[in-house]
Amino acid sequence: TNRIVVIGGGLAAATAVHELRTTHGFTGPVTVLADEAHPPYERPPLSKAVLLGEKEATTAIVRPAEWYADHDVGLRTGTRAERIDRDARTVHAAGEDIGYGQLLIATGARARRLPLVDESGVPATYLRTIGDSVALRGLLRPGLRLGIIGGGWIGLEAAAAARIAGAEVTVLEALELPLVRVLGSEVAGIMTAMHREHGVDVRTSTQVTAVEATSEGTRLALDDGDDLVVDHVLVGIGAQPNTELAEAAGLTVDNGIRTDAHLRTDDATVLAAGDVANVDHPLLGRPLRVEHWDTAIQHGKVAAATLAGVDAVADQQPYFFTDQYDFGMEYVGNAGPGDYDRVLVRGDAAGRVFTAWWLAGDRIVAGMHANDWDAIDEVRSRVGTTVDPAWLES
């Protein structure tokens, strides 16, 4: 068979099948196994416009179900792939063995669970799906006491939406600042101050040690000896890649499914893309797994090309964005702790209109702008280059 089977129904999968049918004119059979009830959708609005009640959740759907039918793509929603047999080249799903010529694994990631919360049985949300977003939106109201465990992107975006809805929001962050691992203390400090100005109680270096239901609400015991009573808990402590199928099939899994820059796994007929893929990055010279909307699109395109026999590599600098209150930012590159030795903030940090640059020696390894939308071209062009001393002085 020349059938292409895609496991997963997210943005990476949606982009790959669209590109196969359009750009590459692939006419062979295509099957998409997607365990959620909806056609593939985009998640960024789930913690922004949808949570703010500005947009219906269904607007996040990439293409309507008819597109798949019209393009002869067998989109099977509500269908979970249970097993990959690489010798037989089949995927087992819904009691059937579906044969493939090539397979794309785009199973994404799921919210990391917090056993303390799960075992306590208190009302809690993990924000990953349309259903999660709609349910949380339904709860937001003036005076709702919302406790957010984890000051990551999703926790902070939800904090903003909840404050705008009038909720009383506390963010509990284990590290010294929310987002400090991604942004470093300079920029993370600016964002933390912004949330505090908007009335969020941001508690840093704070861990939850116990969770229990009481007659007044959910009691969160904190490691500083304090107590917090809330009506609802949102857990935003990160995501973990859905690698179990690949692992069981004997593919190399190490912080995601390992692939080369063409997105091929160690089995040439099997590819991986999106949040689940840990990809050899030609520019960075190391494997990279990120959980970014833009990467899901890029990977979808590269996967489609590779499946169609066209030479393509995933070599773009990572890019992501966020929107919180009236603050928007775009970030290019990838600079974790130890990847840079100084951060340069240029512009009006107090007014939150600035650019920030992460430097390793004389190389710019990452850059971002905040509320300075024209600066994105400069950010894109400078990241990955050597610092120009004249620019540094300017």
Q: Interface with ligand FAD by CB under 6 A: which residues?
A: 7-13, 33-36, 43-44, 46-47, 80-81, 106-109, 127-128, 154, 242, 245, 274-275, 291-294, 296, 320-322
Q: Report the nearest approach of ligand FAD to the CB of residue 307 (Å).
A: 16
Alpha carbon distances (Å) from 163 to 100, 158, 350? 49, 8, 21
Rg of the chain in Å (alpha carbons): 22
Residue number with CB closer to ligand FAD (157 or 359)? 157
Outline where the chain has alpha helix (H): 11-21, 65-70, 115-120, 130-139, 153-164, 180-197, 244-248, 293-307, 376-382, 389-393
Residue number with CB closer to ligand FAD (101 or 238)? 238
Q: Report the nearest approach of ligand FAD to the CB of residue 8 (Å).
A: 3
Residue number with CB closer to ligand FAD (177 or 290)? 290
Q: Report the nearest approach of ligand FAD to the CB of residue 367 (Å).
A: 16
Which residues are paired to 271 by β-bridges? 104, 264
Which residues are paired to 149 by β-bridges? 172, 235
Residue number with CB closer to ligand FAD (55 or 80)? 80
Q: What are phi and psi of 278, to 5 degrees?
A: -110, 105
CB of 14 within 8 A of CB of 43? no
Residue number with CB closer to ligand FAD (128 or 281)? 128
Alpha carbon distances (Å) from 177 to 21, 58, 322? 45, 34, 17
CB of 43 within 8 A of CB of 60? yes
Residue number with CB closer to ligand FAD (179 or 359)? 179
Which residues are paired to 202 by β-bridges? 171
Q: Report the nearest approach of ligand FAD to the CB of residue 187 (Å).
A: 16
Q: Report the nearest approach of ligand FAD to the CB of residue 102 (Å).
A: 17
Residue number with CB closer to ligand FAD (132 or 231)? 132
Q: Report the nearest approach of ligand FAD to the CB of residue 241 (Å).
A: 9
Torsion of CA 247, 250, 255, 256, to 10 degrees: -70
Q: Report the nearest approach of ligand FAD to the CB of residue 125 (Å).
A: 11
Residue number with CB closer to ligand FAD (230 or 272)? 272
CB of 99 within 8 A of CB of 90? yes
Q: Which 3 state secondary structure label does DSSP give 131?
A: helix
DSSP secondary structure code for residue 55 in this structure: S
Q: Report the nearest approach of ligand FAD to the CB of residue 96 (Å).
A: 13
Residue number with CB closer to ligand FAD (107 or 306)? 107
- Cβ–Cβ contacts within 10 Å for residue 82, how many? 13
Its sign, for the CA torsion 171, 43, 240, 261, is negative
Q: Report the nearest approach of ligand FAD to the CB of residue 51 (Å).
A: 8
Q: Report the nearest approach of ligand FAD to the CB of residue 256 (Å).
A: 10
145-149 and 232-235 as β-strands: parallel, antiparallel, unpaired?
A: parallel
245-277 burial, b at 16+ Cβ within 10 Å, e below that, comes to: bbeebebebeebbbbbbbbbbebeebbbbbbbb
113 Cα distance to chain centroid: 16
Residue number with CB closer to ligand FAD (79 or 359)? 79
The beta strands (E) that lie in 10-144 are given as 30-34, 73-77, 81-85, 90-93, 96-99, 102-105, 109-111, 124-126
